[in-house]
């Protein structure tokens, strides 16, 4: 969690700017805010970094998933192809948007594969919600081809891969719209927060309008603004934007440190013949926030992750995790929701309870991930390599 390792005077200064004017709201109050616009500045810098026309900041990464779906016109009864290996937020966003998640197989990229996507397309498929998982990119060329061929909207959930790229172009700039998260466990944090980026004027207009009760954000008289559509509230506060902005300005340093520390551990692990690595369609573009590797079978992967965890290495075995892989999503399989959701009234092409994803099971059951810290010292890295010898040698 690099962002959380780096809190400093930069974050405090941005927050104090806001507290000194007392304008915690991101819109209006033009005079009283004395030129302090943290959300707006964060949006400008985030869009520039990605080389896109528009960015809209929202209250969370999950909100960014919702806003991406709604702004791309996806709602009741639409089928959206999603991965079974993802933090569950985008799947919840699809369901709570009234749409229907359709799970496709992943491959050793740890992301949806083009083949997997193509196998579950139906006449009702409207979009692919592609998650760039655990730090790096999906096989974008092949996936873009499938989306074009079948006229599908491509949404990139880049919550776990900020700072990554593919063939020199930032992740999040390949589809129609992309979403990011700045929760406490992501590459940078705002406490809570998210971003939506797009090159489409139409999607952007819907994104900022829908996230703020339909306000069109023209002029400084909030009560008199036009409301072209009904909306909701996913606004980012100025305090969150202030923290996020300070953190975002450290992104180049964060990525550089992640890459350096990951390289030490990955190079060392190469000497163990039983280990293979996550497939990276463009190794140069890895954000390097996570080191992902495979063991020959599930039993060995679980043992290795357990023993690493016991010795203080931040290792994860996602196959048994409750939030990142479909196997333990009993609430989804039983459709346990707070209130009836729209998909109960549509034909759902998959029975989530009996759904089999053998390829994904095989990949995730053999996967071990180590979260990369940016503050590791050389001694700590050496020490981890010695532990690798004991666990894998």
Ligand X SMILES: *Cc1c(COP(=O)(O)O)cnc(C)c1O
> Which residues lie near ligand X (CB under 6 A)?
60-62, 65, 86-87, 89-90, 131, 157, 159-160, 181, 183, 194
User: Cα separation of 34 and 29, whole Å?
Assistant: 9
What's the min distance (Å) between Cβ of 84 and ligand X?
13
Which lies closer to ligand X via its Cβ, residue 165 or residue 392? 165
Closest-CA residue to 60 (of 255, 237, 280): 237
> What DSSP character marks residue 369?
E
Nearer to ligand X, 57 or 384 (CB): 57
Mode of pairing for the β-strands spanning 153-157 and 177-181: parallel
Rounded to whole angstroms, the Cα distance separating 279 from 127 reads 24
Spatial contact of 247 and 190, defined as CB atoms under 8 Å apart: yes
292: helix, strand or coil:
strand
Give dist(CA 83, CA 108) in Å, integer: 13
Structure tokens at 374: 């940016």
Q: How far is the CB of 161 from ligand X (least distance, A)?
A: 9
Q: How many helices (H) and strands (E) does the chain have?
A: 13, 13
Least distance to ligand X, CB of residue 236, Å: 11
Nearer to ligand X (CB atom), residue 85 or residue 293? 85
DSSP-derived secondary structure for 165-178 = EETTEETTSSSSEE
- For the bound state, the minimum distance from the C-beta of residue 299 to ligand X, rounded and expressed in Å, comes to 27
- Shortest distance, position 280 Cβ to ligand X, whole Å: 18
Whichever of 52 and 111 has its CB closer to ligand X, that residue is 111
Sign of torsion over alpha carbons 241, 246, 252, 255: negative
Residue nearest to ligand X (CB): 61
The alpha-carbon radius of gyration of the chain (Å, integer) is: 21
Find the shortest distance in angstroms from Cβ 83 to ligand X: 9
CB 176 within 8 A of CB 169: no
Task: Give 162 or 392: the residue with its C-beta nearer to ligand X.
Answer: 162
Q: How far apart are CA 142 and CA 160, in angstroms?
A: 21
86 or 261, CB closer to ligand X? 86
Q: Which residue has the tokens 């359709």?
A: 102
Q: Nearer to ligand X by C-beta: 131 or 374?
A: 131
CA-nearest of 247, 253, 208, 254 to 231 is 208
Q: What is the closest distance, in whole angstroms, from the C-beta atom of residue 345 to ligand X in the complex?
A: 26
Closer residue to ligand X, CB minimum distance, 155 or 392: 155
Helix (H) or strand (E) holding 62: helix 61-71
The nearest distance, CB 64 to ligand X, in angstroms, is: 7
Q: How far is the CB of 99 from ligand X (least distance, A)?
A: 16
Q: Tell me the C-alpha distance between 190 and 99, whole Å.
A: 29
Between 66 and 204, whose beta carbon lies closer to ligand X?
66
């Amino acid at each position: 969690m690099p962002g959380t390792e780096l809190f400093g005077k930069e974050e405090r200064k941005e927050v104090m700017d806001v507290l000194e004017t007392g304008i915690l709201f991101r819109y209006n109050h033009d005079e009283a805010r004395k030129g302090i616009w943290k959300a707006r500045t964060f949006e400008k810098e985030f869009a520039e970094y990605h080389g896109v026309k528009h960015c809209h900041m929202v209250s969370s990464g999950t909100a960014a998933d919702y806003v991406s779906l709604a702004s791309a016109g996806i709602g009741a009864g639409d089928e959206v192809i999603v991965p079974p290996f993802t933090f569950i937020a985008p799947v919840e966003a699809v369901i709570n948007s009234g749409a229907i998640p359709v799970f496709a197989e992943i491959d050793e990229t740890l992301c949806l594969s083009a083949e997997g996507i193509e196998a579950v397309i139906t006449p009702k498929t409207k979009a692919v919600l592609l998650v760039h998982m655990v730090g790096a990119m999906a096989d974008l060329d092949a996936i873009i081809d499938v989306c074009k061929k079948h006229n599908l909207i491509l949404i990139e959930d880049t919550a776990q891969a900020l700072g990554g790229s593919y063939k020199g172009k930032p992740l999040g700039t390949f589809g129609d719209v992309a979403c990011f998260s700045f929760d406490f466990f992501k590459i940078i944090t705002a406490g809570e927060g998210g971003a939506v980026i797009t090159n489409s004027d139409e999607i952007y207009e819907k994104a900022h309008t829908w996230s703020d009760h339909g306000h069109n954000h023209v002029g400084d008289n909030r009560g008199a603004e036009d409301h072209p559509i009904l909306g909701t509230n996913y606004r980012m506060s100025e305090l969150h934007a202030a923290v996020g902005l300070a953190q975002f300005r450290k992104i180049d340093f964060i990525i550089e440190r992640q890459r350096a520390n990951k390289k030490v551990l990955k190079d060392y692990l190469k000497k163990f013949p039983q280990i293979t690595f996550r497939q990276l369609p463009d190794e140069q573009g890895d954000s390097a926030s996570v080191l992902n590797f495979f063991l020959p079978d599930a039993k060995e992967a679980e043992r290795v992750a357990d023993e690493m965890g016991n010795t203080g290495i931040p290792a994860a075995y996602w196959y048994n995790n409750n939030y990142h892989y479909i196997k333990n999503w009993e609430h989804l399989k039983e459709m346990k929701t707070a209130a009836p959701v729209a998909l109960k009234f549509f034909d759902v092409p998959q029975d989530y309870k009996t759904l089999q994803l053998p390829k994904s099971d095989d990949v995730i059951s053999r996967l071990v991930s180590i979260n990369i810290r940016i503050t590791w010292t050389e001694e700590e890295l050496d020490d981890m390599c010695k532990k690798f010898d004991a666990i894998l040698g």
